[in-house]
Structure 1
């Protein structure tokens, strides 16, 4: 049984472009993390009863949420989530999204690094924040069915994510100490990555 196959990938220029960019510029481990984050977010929308989700916006934001960490899009002044959000704005402008919806990509990607997001303020931002919280820090590990978790992890294995992402965010924190990366490192990100229960699901 393949529960995650009931979550169709949006078949749109923006969605296809997001995956193309992720695959071209990111490592396999970071792209797999992005795709797991999308699946976790869609599952949390169901579990938490969040209605009216913009599924294309959620997919594009999830797939691109860490693209600001790669050398080609890294920004020496602003946080990696802001840099990545602007990549999303550029991509969706090319796909013909109106200005207010392009701005939503930036908001959702930036908010995934907030300590928490009110779903009434931003449903997609809330979902991406808790989804990445699960995939990186192991938050709410038992909220989603174990069969679904195993299936997603089998399709998109974690691989070298813990070492790679920890190194990447440590670098961001050292170079940009006034950004969320520093708060994540100070909050024990490295240990949380290593202790994430998803590392043990098989």
Structure 2
């Protein structure tokens, strides 16, 4: 895998602690160049949003969460029946447990990853959760694009190229849960299944109510 290592991009220092370095090594071992570049951009965008809004946060934990946030899509970490966000969150928690990280910080990282696609909730939680949600939204859907200076935008994309991101990200998502499409019920990834599978029939909440075992 051809990747770039930087100490600082767009004024943001990229953590190089033992934990951060080992997390990056796992991303490089089990992920792809495409996911690596996306994950680093998410960290940088999240950090810039923190800087712009003066939001205190744990940069190392935010970095680890960014590194693991899409690893639930890759075979090594993918379960047969859990949402990919939960797989990534579980992987990060297990990794951090090995470093003796406190329980409250384990939960914080778990929430940051597990909720990164949960619209309407993640942005109201702890700073790390809200920040990574914002970084993912900026990279994937361009949310807050207007707040990113042209200079920072160019510097980040040069370091961690998008490489046809718009065309590749939907198939990348789908490849991570095509064996368990039922896990997309009730979340935005059901849209990915509908896009990739023309005849996709998704579970319907109203049907669940109307066909419940209750007599009335």
Q: Deviation of residue 31 (structure 1)? A: 0.4
Match of 1:24 among 22, 25, 29: 29
Higher Cα Rg, which structure: 2
Of 14-23 and 112-121, deviating more is 112-121
Give me the CA root mean square deviation. 2.6
Matched, 1:164 2:168: yes
Q: Which residue of 2 aligns with 1:176?
A: 181
- Correspondence 1:49-68 to 2 at 5 A: 49-50=54-55, 52-68=56-72
Structure 1: stretches of 5+ with no match in the other structure: 191-202
The correspondence for 1:151, drawn from 134, 148, 155, is 155
Q: Deviations over 1:113-134 (max 9, x none)?
A: 1113465521111111111111
Aligned match of 2:209: none
Asked whether the 8 Å contact 1:117–1:125 carries over to 2, the reply is no
Shift of 1:101: 1.1
Change (3 A) 1:150 1:185: farther
Alpha-carbon distance, 1:187 to partner: 7.6
Q: Which of the numbers 79, 82, 95 marks the counterpart of 1:78?
A: 82
Q: Structure 2: 5+ residue runs without aligned partners?
A: 1-6, 196-216
Alpha-carbon distance, 1:20 to partner: 0.4
CA contact (8 A) 1:176 1:182 kept: no
* Distance (whole Å) between structure 2 residues aligned to residue 141 and residue 180 of structure 1: 29
Contact 1:15 1:56 in 2 (8 A): yes
Residue range with higher mean Cα deviation, 92-101 or 173-182: 173-182
Q: TM-score, normalised by structure 2?
A: 0.78
Deviates more, 1:59-68 or 1:120-129: 120-129
Pair 1:97 & 2:101 matched: yes
Higher RCO (Cα < 8 Å, 6 or more apart) = 1
Structure-2 change in CA distance of 1:189 and 1:40 (3 Å): farther
Equivalents in 1 of 2:60, 2:159: separation in Å?
Answer: 21
